[in-house]
Amino acid sequence: MKKAFKILGFIVLTVIILLVIAPFVFESQLKDLVKKTMNDNLNAQVDFADIDLSMFRSFPKATLIIEDLSIINNEPFKGDTLATGEEVILQMSIKELFKSSKEPKKIDELKINNAYVNILVDSLGVTNYDIAIADTTASAGTSNPFSLDLKHYEINNSRIKYNDLSAKIALDVENFNHEGSGDFSMDTSELDTYSEALVSLDYDGVNYLNKNYVSLDAVFQMDLEKLRYTFLENEAMINQLPLTFDGYVQVNDDNTEMDLSFKTPSSDFKNFLAVIPQTYAKNIENVETQGDFVVNGRIFGKSDDTFIPKMEIKINSSNAAFKYPDLPKKVQDVNLDMEILNNTGIAEETYLNINKATFRIDEDRFSMLGKISNLTENMLIDLALKGTINLANLSKAYPLNLEQDLNGILTADVKTKFDMNSIEKEQYQNVNSNGTASIRNFSYSSPEIPNEVKIAQANMKFDQGNVSVPNLQLTTGKTDVTASGNIQNFMGFLFTDQLLKGNFQVKSNTFSINNFMVAEVEETPKTDQNKAETKTPKPGKEAVKIPSFLDVELNFDAATVLYDNLELKNAKGTLIIKDETARLQNVTTNIFNGSIGANGLVSTKNATPVFEMDLDLNSLDIASSFNGMELMQNLAPLAKALEGKLKSTLNLKGNLNEDLTPQLSSLAGNALAEILTAKLNPQKAALLSKLDTQLGFLDFSKIDLSDLKTKLTFRDGKVEIAPFDFDLKGIHFQVAGSHGFDMDMDYQLSLDVPAKYLGSDVGGSLGKLSGEDIQNMVVTLPIGITGNFQSPQIKLNMEQAVNSLTQKIVDQQKRKLEDKAVNAINEILQGKRDPKKPFNKNDSTAVGSKSTDTIKKPASTKQDSIKTTQQKQVQETARNILGGILKNNKKPTDTTGQKQ
């Protein structure tokens, strides 16, 4: 306080010096001189927007106005704002401007409007307000011709913040208005003051005052030579509680000494209600009260870097009662006996004794007693709570400002003793708690949850730092839960920012995840020509958020789980919730006439929820799973045409929507699927129906896909199917390709069709060409599939098929001819054939010859002609075979294999 007055006086005196030196008509020069002088004498960066010197604003007084003053700290708080002020107004007699430099210049009034003062003390005790530069040039005999000689001063609509990191104190004084009138030119005088503000106070992370209204109307006896201030007449108000003070404050060089006593001017119990912030206490003028409430205390001793003043503060009330006129219930048997004491002046030895605190509403009684000591360091708490109360009666007896109406019956008989360090370090062996508490018939509703939560019964048993919950029964929407378990850090959760840790056994007949999804409501304007604009709710996305304060493990067993449109039966497993992430371990459930095993996680920690999941699907009904799961519809669109059982393992990860359904475009992973039993119904899938039409030799409705296995990979919004083979009644299929979640596809099929499936006409063509053995030849037919599953494009690669089949027939003929030549040579060597007899490729048993000329090579042109004729015959036969493949019951095919 002393330094603050010195700094304020120095700034004012500096301004006066410049006013005396420079005529007020030279405002621009005056502005530069004021800035330079202040910066030279303050260890800070001082600036202002403008200076205005008016001779007429308060005539016959001169008025000096400094606009938008700012003081910015240098090191070690460089860049921090110490103070700002919209206006600093100084008023003085005009004649003061013409006094010589040796005559004192008297300032009659000082006003500071819309100021902000930001006082900081770092963890080492270094302050940001000690900015005055010591004057080393002044001699002992030099007199100072300038004096601060105020008659009146004001601070209007200002704010003061004080943050002491070393003492863990944060004080915020808002809407601060203070004024005082006195004669500072005299060594002894009276100062008449009035102050009011909204005060907030935090100490060691605990909020003690939150914008509480405080006012003081007081007259002080000032001894400016000894810096001693004595209360004469005064009355203070804390919220609506009146207090009067007596005593003094003495400011010394190295400490502040005080001896102040205070008390309530009356003993009316309304004084107790007045302590409560007005927002909650409402209007107490018409409240009926009986009994007394007395606050009296004394604060005395010295305050310095080591000690605080000693204190004795007592709060008492006996057999009191009150009733608000608009509420039906009365609070009776109010008894209070509390004291705040410090007998040593050491801050950590301050303690609060609660010798008695009781009240009654109807027949419900509640009491508390205990001691809270070592308030400024490792707080020690020793409390006992006992009683029963109908929570609904609280709002019927006291005007609580709550979003949720209280209800339910709370019963408690608990004793607890612990220190805050043990709670913060989770050393619960140092916590001594015992007793029981329960709540029944409690319900809770909030915009944050879609359905009212009803707790039929919740019991708690306290033992050391652990709280066991032997029985918890609740319902919400369609969900019912019965649980038991342990809370490991109940005290840490209540008294610090620790997560709620515990483990529970949870059983449920029906657990509906849908009951916990919140529909965000977006209001959109709706106008009518004849009506004023109104707003109607617009359904938004359902958002699920995993609570950040939970660190629990749930072993659950639910007969039925409802999620979206799915119904899961006999769901069992472990759910671990921590760090806004839910982990599933060894989860099993029955669905779609099969079972699912799951391990993985879901996290809502970031803006976009994510998941990772390993799924084991066993014997699922294909049709049911396809109809019930959007994921199945996108991974395997053709499954809609299957009837049977599916087995699969899936490894998936990706982003989630707000309702925790997968964002299909973000999926990555793989699947290994096996069809246990399945039949096709091609009419349910456009692709299969179209293939069935074009491939007349196949009947998809009679195909059995049992034991079919395939591997799928998901990435970049696509499902890629690794090449796989299977046989269907002697026809070999090879399939590969991919499709997108937009249903566009790119697949390649290759069918190896035996000639025996191609009909008697094709078989006869083969027989004419190359004998009966070639009827066992396989025809390879490549098929390209593009477009989408609703409108597929099928391309039969005829040219490749003809070339492949032609080559096979030529190779077959070549092998037969080579075999006959080998047989003929063997017969010659064995003497069974005359080597001079010509070789007949169609008769391997002929022996002898009438002419040797017939074995001569024919002319080249004749050979080419024969070869060309054979090649054309082979190609014609190949096309005829393909025509048989494409033939169907409705349309015949031409010799090229194309539809007519």
Contacts of 787 (CB under 8 A, 6+ apart): 744, 745, 793
Mean pLDDT across the chain, nearest whole number?
A: 76
Beta bridge partners of 54: 63
- For residue 423, pLDDT over 80 is answered with no
Concatenated DSSP letters for 632-666?
A: HHHH-GGGGGEEEEEEEEEEEEEEB-TTS-B-GGG
Q: What is the pLDDT of residues 673-693, one digit of tens each?
A: 877 677 776 777 777 777 777
H or E segment and range at residue 392 = helix 392-397
- Give the pLDDT band of residue 270 (cuts 50, 70, 90): confident
Other CB atoms within a 10 A radius of the CB of residue 854 amount to 13
Predicted confidence at residue 359, as pLDDT, reads: 92
Q: How far apart, in whole angstroms, are the C-alpha atoms of residue 573 and residue 361?
A: 46
| Token output for 789 | 């599953």
In this structure, are residues 460 and 436 in contact, taking their beta carbons and an 8 Å threshold? yes
Q: What angle do CA 730, 732, 735 make, to 5 degrees?
A: 150
Predicted confidence at residue 213, as pLDDT, reads: 86
Contacts of 650 (CB under 8 A, 6+ apart): 613, 614, 615, 617, 669, 670, 671
Predicted confidence at residue 43, as pLDDT, reads: 83
Predicted confidence at residue 321, as pLDDT, reads: 92
Q: What is the pLDDT of residues 72-123, one digit of tens each?
A: 888 888 888 889 999 988 887 767 666 554 555 577 888 999 999 999 988 8
Q: Considering only residues 742 and 329, tell me which one the structure prediction assigns the higher pLDDT.
A: 329
Beta bridge partners of 383: 370, 416
- Give the pLDDT band of residue 411 (cuts 50, 70, 90): very high
Q: What is the pLDDT of residues 353-404, one digit of tens each?
A: 999 999 999 989 999 999 988 877 788 889 999 999 998 898 888 887 766 7
Predicted confidence at residue 738, as pLDDT, reads: 87
Q: How far apart, in whole angstroms, are the C-alpha atoms of residue 754 and residue 782?
A: 15
**For residue 692, which amino acid is it?**
D
Contacts of 822 (CB under 8 A, 6+ apart): none
Beta bridge partners of 315: 295, 338
Q: What is the pLDDT of residues 193-252, one digit of tens each?
A: 999 999 888 876 667 777 888 899 999 888 878 888 898 888 888 877 888 989 999 988
CA 243 to chain centre: 46
CA 27 to chain centre: 57
Predicted confidence at residue 103, as pLDDT, reads: 56
Long-range contacts made by residues 227-232, C-beta under 8 angstroms, separation at least 24?
Answer: 227/2, 227/251, 227/252, 229/191, 231/260, 232/190
In this prediction, residues 651-661 reach a mean pLDDT of 84
| Token output for 558 | 């639910």
Q: Of 187-196, 334-343, 617-626, 840-849, which one has max mean pLDDT?
A: 334-343
CA 152 to chain centre: 54
In this prediction, residues 715-735 reach a mean pLDDT of 81
Beta bridge partners of 260: 247, 299
Predicted confidence at residue 848, as pLDDT, reads: 37
Contacts of 790 (CB under 8 A, 6+ apart): 686, 743
| Terminal-residue alpha carbon distance, the chain | 107
In this structure, are residues 257 and 301 in contact, taking their beta carbons and an 8 Å threshold? yes
In this structure, are residues 828 and 835 in contact, taking their beta carbons and an 8 Å threshold? yes
SS3 assignment for 771-819:
CHHHHHCEEEEEEEEEEECCCEEEEECHHHHHHHHHHHHHHHHHHHHHH
Burial of residue 730 (CB within 10 Å: 0-12, 13-18, 19+) is exposed
Q: Considering only residues 290 and 448, tell me which one the structure prediction assigns the higher pLDDT.
A: 290
Buried b / exposed e across 266-291, counting CB within 10 Å, b at 16+? eebbbbbbbbbbeeebbebeebebeb
Say which range, 206-215, 338-347, 698-707, has the weakest mean pLDDT.
Answer: 698-707
Handedness of CA 101, 104, 106, 110 (dihedral sign): positive
Q: What is the pLDDT of residues 465-477, one digit of tens each?
A: 778 989 989 898 8
Q: Where are the domains of the chain?
A: 1-133+147-167, 239-382, 482-519+541-730, 757-849+865-886
Total number of residues shown for the chain? 900
- Give the pLDDT band of residue 280 (cuts 50, 70, 90): low
Residue 707 DSSP code? T
Q: How far apart, in whole angstroms, are the C-alpha atoms of residue 53 and residue 27?
A: 7
With left for phi above 0 and alpha for psi between -120 and 50, is residue 520 left, alpha or beta?
beta
Q: How far apart, in whole angstroms, are the C-alpha atoms of residue 321 and residue 462?
A: 33
H or E segment and range at residue 627 = helix 622-628
Other CB atoms within a 10 A radius of the CB of residue 530 amount to 4
Q: What is the pLDDT of residues 568-591, one digit of tens each?
A: 899 999 989 888 888 889 999 998
- Give the pLDDT band of residue 334 (cuts 50, 70, 90): very high
Give the predicted TM-score (pTM) of the model: 0.59
- For residue 344, pLDDT over 80 is answered with yes
Q: What is the pLDDT of residues 152-205, one digit of tens each?
A: 889 999 999 999 887 778 889 999 999 988 877 777 888 899 999 998 888 766
Q: How far apart, in whole angstroms, are the C-alpha atoms of residue 827 and residue 653?
A: 72
H or E segment and range at residue 886 = helix 860-886
Where are the extended beta strands (E) located within 324-447?
A: 331-342, 351-361, 364-373, 380-390, 409-419, 432-446
Q: What is the pLDDT of residues 822-855, one digit of tens each?
A: 676 666 666 666 665 655 545 444 333 333 343 3
Q: What is the pLDDT of residues 514-552, one digit of tens each?
A: 776 654 444 444 444 444 444 444 444 556 677 788 888
In this prediction, residues 721-726 reach a mean pLDDT of 83
In this prediction, residues 448-454 reach a mean pLDDT of 75
Q: Omega into 76 within 30° of 0, i.e. cis?
A: yes
**For residue 214, which amino acid is it?**
V
